[in-house]
Structure 1
Amino acid sequence: MRVIAGSARSLRLKTPEGMATRPTTDRIKETLFNIIGPSMYDCTFLDLFSGSGGIGIEALSRGAREAVFVESSPKAMKCIKENLTFTRLAPKALTVTSDVMNALCRLEGEKVFDFIFMDPPYDQGYERRVLEYLSESELAYEDTLIIVEASLDTDFSYAEEIGFSLIREKRYKTNKHVFLERAGREEIC
């Protein structure tokens, strides 16, 4: 796994050993950042269920002002910190070793994000719990783009009833990215 573009371009990132994390492949990461990349400069980025930190590091490499990495596994967080040091992006990063729901509560009132990315364990309902929290949260504002990496069969039909518009879905062979914003916004990415 490597950084695709920006200040840390081509640097190889470490991934935690074992099967507890599934790093986003370079090809899928490149497709994602081709979609959102033009908006990266000077943004604030929240990377939930961070794993190796590859998505948040890509955002920082492409010009994000700050990225917050939330990961519950101390082993994975050690890997994220090593990757941040190796890419020289650590000064623009905040790491939170905690389960996601507790981390969101701790960040409340301290941060507001332009992008919120989450790649939770598949088919366990974490997406919905996080989205329900974000629907009432000050961490996201009306222009915040929320991106969920999920299995192909993950259902997001509930999004509208909890206050989100599904604005785009990008499907790959084994998973998909779902792009959401608070309902009522007219512009589509």
Structure 2
Amino acid sequence: MRVIAGSAKRLQLKTLDGLDTRPTTDRIKETLFNMIAPEIYDSIFLDLFSGSGGIGIEALSRGAREAVFVENSPKAMSCIKENLKFTRLEHKAVTMTRDVMTALYQLEGEKVFDFIFMDPPYDRGFEKTVLEYLADSQLVYEDTLIIVEASKETDFSYLEELGFHLLKEKVYKTNKHVFMEKAGKEEIC
């Protein structure tokens, strides 16, 4: 796994051995960032279920002002910190070694995010729990882009009832990215 573009371009990142994390492949990461690249610069990025930190590090490398990495596994967080140091991006990063819900409660009132990316363990409903929380959270504003990486089979039919608008779904061979924002945003012509 490597950084695709920006200040840390081509640097190889460490990943964890085993199946506890599934690093997003370089090809999928490149596709994702090609879709959001124009808005990344100077943004505040939240990387939930961070794994080895590849997504948040890519955001920082491409000019995000700050990224918050939330990962419950101390072993995975150690890997994230090594990757941040190796890429010389640690000065723009906040790391939180705790479960995602606890981290969200602690961040409430402290930050508002331009991007929230989550890659929870597949098919266990974690994304719905997080989205239920974010529906009424001050961490999200009307232009916050929320991106969920999930299995192809994950159902998101509940988004409208939670107050989110589905913007796009990008399906790959084994998984997908679902892009959403808070519903009711007024379009300015």
Matched, 1:85 2:70: no
Task: Give the Cα separation in 2 of the matches to 1:127 and 1:73.
Answer: 18
TM-score w.r.t. length of structure 1: 0.98
Deviations 1:12-53 (A, max 9, x none): 000012110000000000000000011110000000000000
Helix, strand or coil: the match of 1:81?
A: helix
Matched, 1:4 2:4: yes
Q: List aligned pairs for 1:72-111, cutoff 5 A.
A: 72-111=72-111
| 1:36 aligned partner | 36
Deviation at 1:185, TM superposition (A): 2.2
Q: List aligned pairs for 1:97-176, cutoff 5 A.
A: 97-176=97-176
Matched, 1:20 2:20: yes
Helix, strand or coil: the match of 1:82?
A: helix
Task: Give the Cα separation in 2 of the matches to 1:8 and 1:184.
Answer: 37
Helix, strand or coil: the match of 1:120?
A: coil
Deviation at 1:165, TM superposition (A): 0.4
Task: Give the Cα separation in 1 of the matches to 2:186 and 2:19.
Answer: 40
Deviation at 1:186, TM superposition (A): 5.2
Task: Give the Cα separation in 2 of the matches to 1:116 and 1:43.
Answer: 11
Moved more, 101-110 or 178-187: 178-187
Task: Give the Cα separation in 2 of the matches to 1:101 and 1:139.
Answer: 13
Task: Give the Cα separation in 1 of the matches to 2:62 and 2:131.
Answer: 26
Say what the alpha-carbon RMSD is for the aligned residues: 0.7
State the percentage of identical aligned residues.
Answer: 77
Task: Give the Cα separation in 2 of the matches to 1:62 and 1:72.
Answer: 25
Helix, strand or coil: the match of 1:46?
A: strand
Helix, strand or coil: the match of 1:51?
A: coil
- The letter for the 2-side match of 1:157 is S
Matched, 1:56 2:56: yes
Task: Give the Cα separation in 1 of the matches to 2:37 and 2:26.
Answer: 15
TM-score w.r.t. length of structure 2: 0.98
Deviation at 1:125, TM superposition (A): 0.2
Q: Which runs of 5+ in 1 are unaligned?
A: none
- The letter for the 1-side match of 2:105 is C
Task: Give the Cα separation in 1 of the matches to 2:94 and 2:13.
Answer: 18
- The letter for the 1-side match of 2:130 is V
Helix, strand or coil: the match of 1:33?
A: helix
- The letter for the 1-side match of 2:50 is S
